[in-house]
Amino acid sequence: MTSEREWRKIAKTQLALSGLPTVNEMEYRPYLTILFNLSLAKFGHSDYAKINIGILQAEVQCFTEQNRGSSHQPSLLWYALALLNDYLNQRKSNPFMGTVMDCGSCGASCFYHEESNRYSCCMCEASAEAGANRLPRAIPVIHSIRIERVRLHKRLDDLYVTSSERFKFYSHIASYLKQPLEHTHIGQVCSAEDVEAWDKAITNIEQKIERFKGV
């Protein structure tokens, strides 16, 4: 039996063995968790040394057809599967070749551009910088929203000192916005309504801090 933790560590190990950047290895981990769960459901065990990659591929195919999330998520899941397959076969993995993202401003497709290392919309001026190994970091949006994201980041950065405070504040924002913590990311702020909601959530934290000081 291999634990979920061991599956999640494969990404970092395999990226390092392949000479690929590991700085954003946490971004790969949720996809290894999906593979872990698919393995448990299909094979009744999670021992990656004993799984049949062909059958797991078919499971990933079903999963991506049933769970239509953001357009880039299936490609990252397929890449995570390739990392696992290469890891089991003790060979180097290829870089991630980029994906297609949904524009956060107009909904059109955004493509990766090597020269700027950004995902840019084919219909409007929206864009977002890519992370290491061409991984999406934020949903592409128009310039005015990118400015608001920087301002929201600054508002939050001014409030916390330690990483545990940071975690606490993001957890608070997640519950305030009634959304899962893994989606509570300033890179997901796409509209004026999102900006307003985040401003309110941060103001709420500031008020709580003030009240705490007043005791």
CB of 136 to Zn ion, least distance (A): 15
Residues 6+ apart with CB under 8 A from 98: 111, 112, 119, 130, 134
Q: CB–CB of 112/99 below 8 Å?
A: yes
CB of 125 to Zn ion, least distance (A): 8
Closer to Zn ion by CB, 77 or 126: give it: 126
Cβ proximity to Zn ion: between 34 and 103 the closer is 103
Nearest residue to 70 via CA among 139, 13, 7: 139
The least distance separating Zn ion from the CB of residue 190, rounded to whole angstroms, comes to 10
CA-wise closest residue to 100 among 123, 131, 73: 73
Does residue 14 contact residue 87 with C-beta atoms inside 8 Å?
Answer: yes
> Which residue, 121 or 156, is less far from Zn ion as judged by CB?
121
Per CB under 5 A, residues contacting Zn ion are 103, 105-106, 108, 121, 123-124, 126
Order of strands across the sheet with 118-121?
100-102, 109-113, 118-121, 127-129
Q: Name the residue nearer to Zn ion (CB basis): 123 or 181.
A: 123
Nearer to Zn ion, 121 or 205 (CB): 121
Taking the complex as a whole, the smallest distance from the CB of residue 104 to Zn ion amounts, in Å, to: 8
CA angle 14, 114, 192 (to 5 degrees): 100
Name the nearest CA neighbour of 96 among 43, 41, 134, 42.
134
Minimum Å distance from CB 152 to Zn ion? 21
